[in-house]
């Protein structure tokens, strides 16, 4: 069924870069969902452990977007999928249908490194990809293997460089404090982010939390965890920890909680240093409509990065 925004005051969600911008040049960014669930099997994520998965047929997706774009007179879409690429074959079919509909849209979504290569990145760019958010979690090969990401640091780095070269805005999610993480693993992530500071435009840090429904929670013994229990301590609740655990042959919770917080603080501190050296003032949640506008007017990623640098100088 085609989504409908009828009856909503869409002008309240229309972005005007300045007072002189005409309505036809403004940014109306519509949400659109066509993939739910995830088949990747990452140990920390509930979506990967759930057997539910649904992806709309590429023909339906392309038809919906063509109709929504025409009806609401916008070419800007915020896809709210778990990721754009549940398989390479799906992206191939999606690319074909976007071309058949001759869609002239710009969009943003999450993407996973596992089912991605240079050719697919080129297709995503042709389809209108402006911004991709990648779940990397850690830039340590040991940790990536342990959490079942089935990618390598080298592959992630190569794909980020390719996406940057294509002009795609790169954002990365990191999860400090994963089970059995060490200082060496965190330092690997720090070095990765440092050497790729010019091609990663934004990053997210989320302390590791043992989430309900994840494979770690469902099968703790199989994956090296034990003594899982609920927490009611106010301090932990403020940090969003609802369950504690011990690592088999590793840290007990009293030490693990310190390690999680320390990993977060180390990475946060180092990333602030890196971000200051880049000198780009950009907030993903606030500035995505502006990002769409700049891509529609400038197209060139380097010019867009310069724009944000200049904004910071003005402030």
Checking if the pLDDT of 313 tops 70, the result is no
CATH architecture of 26-212+254-314: Alpha-Beta Horseshoe (3.80)
Q: Which residues pair with 226 in a beta bridge?
A: 246
Answer yes or no: are the C-beta atoms of 76 and 107 closer than 8 Å.
Answer: yes
Encode pLDDT of 86-117 as tens digits. 999 999 999 999 999 999 999 999 999 999 99
Segment 224-241 shows an average pLDDT of 71
Tell me, rounded to whole angstroms, the distance of Cα 89 from its chain centroid.
Answer: 21
What are 249's two structure tokens?
A: 């042959």
Answer yes or no: are the C-beta atoms of 114 and 151 closer than 8 Å.
Answer: yes
- pLDDT given for residue 95 in this prediction: 98
Answer yes or no: are the C-beta atoms of 116 and 123 closer than 8 Å.
Answer: no
Distances from the Cα of 89 to the Cα of 40, 51, 54, 80, 284, angstroms: 15, 20, 15, 20, 29
Encode pLDDT of 42-93 as tens digits. 999 998 888 889 999 999 999 999 999 999 999 999 999 999 999 999 999 9
CA angle, corner 46, sides to 138 and 32, nearest 5?
Answer: 95
pLDDT greater at residue 148 or residue 235:
148
Instruction: Give which of 10, 74, 17, 14 is closest to 291, Cα–Cα.
Output: 17
What are 49's two structure tokens?
A: 């452990």
- Map out the domains of the chain as residue ranges: 26-212+254-314
- pLDDT given for residue 65 in this prediction: 98
Checking if the pLDDT of 221 tops 90, the result is yes
- pLDDT given for residue 59 in this prediction: 97
Checking if the pLDDT of 240 tops 90, the result is no
Instruction: Give which of 239, 256, 238 is closest to 247, Cα–Cα.
Output: 256
> What is the sign of the dihedral through the CA atoms of 30, 2, 106 and 135?
positive
Residue 282 banded pLDDT, cuts 50, 70, 90: confident
CA angle, corner 239, sides to 31 and 249, nearest 5?
Answer: 110
- pLDDT given for residue 235 in this prediction: 55
- pLDDT given for residue 116 in this prediction: 97
Distances from the Cα of 224 to the Cα of 138, 184, 250, angstroms: 18, 20, 9
- pLDDT given for residue 279 in this prediction: 74
* CB-facing half-sphere around the CA of 224: CA atoms within 13 A: 14
Checking if the pLDDT of 17 tops 90, the result is no
Segment 28-38 shows an average pLDDT of 95
Highest mean pLDDT pick, 96-110, 202-216, 298-312: 96-110
Which of left, alpha, beta for 120 (phi over 0: left; psi -120 to 50: alpha)?
alpha
The mean pLDDT of the chain is 91
Encode pLDDT of 133-153 as tens digits. 999 999 999 999 999 999 999
Instruction: Give which of 126, 225, 238 is closest to 178, Cα–Cα.
Output: 225
What is residue 248's three-state secondary structure?
coil
Residue 238 banded pLDDT, cuts 50, 70, 90: very low
Answer yes or no: are the C-beta atoms of 267 and 206 closer than 8 Å.
Answer: no
Instruction: Give which of 59, 54, 18 is closest to 39, Cα–Cα.
Output: 54
pLDDT greater at residue 10 or residue 241:
10
168: DSSP letter: P
Segment 110-134 shows an average pLDDT of 97
């Amino acid at each position: 069924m085609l989504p409908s925004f009828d009856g909503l005051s869409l002008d309240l969600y229309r972005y005007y870069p300045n007072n002189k911008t005409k309505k036809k040049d403004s940014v109306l960014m519509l949400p659109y969902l066509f993939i739910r669930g995830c088949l990747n099997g990452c140990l920390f994520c509930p979506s990967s452990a759930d057997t539910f998965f649904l992806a709309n047929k590429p023909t339906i997706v392309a038809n919906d977007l063509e109709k929504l774009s025409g009806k609401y007179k916008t070419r800007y879409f915020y896809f709210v999928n778990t990721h754009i690429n549940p398989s390479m074959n799906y992206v191939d079919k999606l690319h074909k249908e976007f071309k058949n509909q001759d869609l002239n849209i710009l969009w943003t979504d999450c993407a996973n490194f596992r089912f991605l290569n240079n050719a697919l990145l080129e297709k995503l760019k042709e389809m209108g990809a402006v911004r991709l958010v990648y779940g990397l979690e850690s830039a340590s090969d040991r940790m990536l293997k342990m959490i079942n990401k089935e990618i390598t640091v080298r592959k992630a780095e190569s794909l980020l460089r390719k996406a940057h070269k294509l002009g795609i805005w790169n954002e990365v999610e990191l999860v400090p404090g994963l089970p059995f993480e060490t200082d060496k693993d965190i330092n690997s992530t720090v070095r990765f982010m440092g050497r790729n500071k010019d091609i990663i435009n934004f990053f997210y840090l989320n302390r590791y939390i043992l989430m309900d429904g994840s494979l770690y929670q469902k099968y703790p013994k199989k994956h090296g965890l034990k003594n899982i229990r609920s927490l009611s301590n106010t301090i932990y609740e403020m940090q969003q920890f609802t369950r504690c655990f011990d690592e088999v042959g590793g840290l007990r919770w009293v030490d693990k909680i310190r390690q999680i917080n320390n990993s977060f603080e180390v990475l946060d501190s180092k990333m602030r240093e890196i971000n200051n050296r880049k000198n780009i003032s950009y907030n993903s949640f606030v500035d995505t409509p502006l990002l769409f506008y700049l891509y529609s007017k400038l197209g060139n990623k380097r010019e867009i990065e310069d724009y944000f640098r200049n904004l910071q100088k003005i402030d």
